[in-house]
Amino acid sequence: MHLPSVLLSFVGGEIVDLFLQTGAVAKTVLVILLLFSVLSWAVILSKWRLIKRARAQGERFIRAFRKSQRLQEIASVAEQFRPSPLVGVFDGAVAEFKRQMGTTGTVHSSVSIQRAMQIASSEEITRLERNVPWLAITGAVTPFIGLFGTVWGIIDAFHGLGTAGAATLRAVAPGISEALITTAAGLAAAIPAVIAYNLIIGSIREMAARNDDFALEMLNLVERQQIQQGNVQQGNLQSGSVQQGSEVRR
């Protein structure tokens, strides 16, 4: 099947004929709008797949996290839940936790762990937002690019009308209809980009809120683990003192 046949079947013969009859400026505008549309759809599809995977993996990670009792248990399997942003937040907390434990043998500042998780959450959200502004640019710019092509086409049509000297609607209608194609193309590129931009930004904001909630759960787990560790150490000290007392009595 040849390309013109495909275009005729999907777009319509009249639209294709109007495109072929447009001038060089209108064709240039349509090519620019096509590039904007292709790039925006590439961003839409890639972000849709990424967000879908991140949401699914995030739910699995939360379930595994809530079932675990110690950081080491979830840290050993955390990597398999990427690209969820929760894994990055968890890694930031674990890294700070290990630094404090390696220095003093205990967690002396939960605020530092919270700051580490905030930084990691910001980095993860920035990663998700990468290339998303292109959708906003497409939605804001393409209607005006299409309008420019339309205005140029109408100017050209009226100029031809004045040159021909025939002031009838039949004489100017073909030129105006050709010029309006660029406006339609601009709207066709802008509308999906604007819809997708708002949906993607809404999903990213939801993930950012989930990161904040997870950070609180992570702090709770760290505090519980510290309490358990303190109880174990206190129990060891008490058992040691009892043994020393019994040896003294002997």
pLDDT tens-digit series, residues 21-68: 667 888 889 899 999 999 999 999 999 999 999 999 999 999 888 888
Question: What pLDDT is attached to residue 1?
Answer: 45
With 0-12 / 13-18 / 19 or more C-beta atoms within 10 angstroms meaning exposed / middle / buried, residue 160 is middle
Closest C-alpha among 129, 135, 142 to residue 197: 135
Closest CA to 96 of 86, 87, 85, 108: 108
Highest mean pLDDT among 11-20, 151-160, 179-188: 179-188
pLDDT at 234 over 60: no
User: CA distances (Å), 207 to each of 55, 144, 203, in order?
Assistant: 8, 33, 6
Burial class (CB in 10 A: 0-12, 13-18, 19+), 213: exposed
Segment 130-164, tens digit of pLDDT? 999 999 999 999 999 999 988 888 887 777 666 65
Tokens of 41: 């759809």
Average pLDDT for the chain: 80
- Return the sign of the alpha-carbon dihedral for residues 31, 32, 33, 39: positive
Angle at 235 between CA 232 and CA 240, to 5 degrees: 125
pTM of the model: 0.77
- Give the pLDDT mean for 197-222: 91
Instruction: Look at residue 242 and tell me whether its pLDDT is greater than 50.
Output: no
With H, G, I as helix, E, B as strand and everything else as coil, classify residue 111: helix
